[in-house]
């Protein structure tokens, strides 16, 4: 048993298993899948971050470790 794989959603502040959490690609906030905004093929903590990504797309992109 490798410890508790539990994290806290930055939006709803509830504890979630890490598999249900995702990291915002823009601001780095950790959000659960219920709170996350899915856009452009990835998750964001909010619509604002999704829009930011849309405007900012192509700047950087190299951490493909979300499988």
Q: Interface with Zn ion by CB under 5 A: which residues?
A: 9, 11-12, 24, 26-27, 29, 32, 35, 45, 49
Nearer to Zn ion, 7 or 32 (CB): 32
Residues in the chain: 67
Instruction: List, in order, residues 6 or more apart from 13 with CB less than 8 Å away.
Output: none
Nearer to Zn ion, 29 or 42 (CB): 29
Q: Which helix (H) or strand (E) holds 16?
A: strand 15-17
CB of 50 to Zn ion, least distance (A): 8
Nearer to Zn ion, 1 or 11 (CB): 11
CB 37 within 8 A of CB 43: yes
């Amino acid at each position: 048993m490798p410890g508790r794989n539990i994290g806290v959603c930055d939006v709803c502040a509830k504890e979630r298993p890490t598999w249900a959490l995702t990291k915002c690609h823009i601001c780095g906030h950790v959000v659960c899948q219920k709170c996350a905004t899915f856009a452009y093929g990835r998750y964001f903590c909010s619509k604002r971050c999704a829009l930011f990504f849309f405007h900012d797309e192509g700047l950087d992109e190299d951490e493909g470790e979300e499988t």
